[in-house]
Amino acid sequence: MADFSETMSSRSSRRDFNTSAIKSSTVNEDVQPLPDLLPVSCGYFKNILLKILLKQRKQVIKYLLLDTQGRTFDQLLKYIGYHSLADLLMELMQLSVVYQQSPVVGGAGQVYEADGADKGEGGKGEDGDEDSLLKNMPKMTGEQAQMYKILQDKKHMVISGLIGTLSYRNTDNLEDSLNATQILIEMVELEKTFEIFMMNGAEKVGNIMELAVDCTNSFN
């Protein structure tokens, strides 16, 4: 707690979400509105994808992480205002890439999804950072390591994006704010994703606390 308090106090002079920085970045960004989606179609898409994931988990994970480089996470984050897509994003955030030795002698390891963090395949490092997690895991193949890295990068990106939705970037979209809040709460409650919040000296927790106590961020 002492280290965390010192980290928080050291941020007082360099806010992560100061108004001027957000405004200047908004001006330079392409602000074309996203096309509207049919909520019913979003619900069908979520149910179909989850059923396919249930039956063909390895193939779907490989497609999401290798074939498309995790772009599904980016698109779902953009449409966080749709409840069905927000639920789907939450489900994908619980995916894991862990090591499994191939049953074929001399064969390459396979990639599959399981509760690795809960069963001890990848222990948490003492300082809670990603490098320690990788060191404690069995040696992965090149493809496995690539998938693991893409998934971790996307999880960090999604969490940062959700926190950004609760900042000055969002001043009028209540659905985005409510869904982002709900997903963050659920991810904090899950062991698989909670450790991401505590990495780098609990930087993301610090960002959330700064936004929560900022009276100028009244919309969120």
- pLDDT tens digit string along 95-152? 988 765 554 444 444 544 444 444 444 444 444 555 555 555 556 778 888 999 999 9
Beta bridge partners of 203: none
Q: How far is CA 61 from the centre of its chain?
A: 15
Tens-digit pLDDT profile for residues 166-213: 887 788 888 999 999 999 999 999 887 898 999 988 999 998 888 888
Is the model's pTM score more than 0.75? no
Residues 6+ apart with CB under 8 A from 58: 110, 111, 112, 113
Is residue 60 within 8 Å of residue 72, measured between CB atoms? no
Tens-digit pLDDT profile for residues 57-106: 999 999 999 999 999 999 999 999 999 999 999 999 999 887 655 544 44
Nearest by Cα to 180 from 206, 154, 152, 208? 208
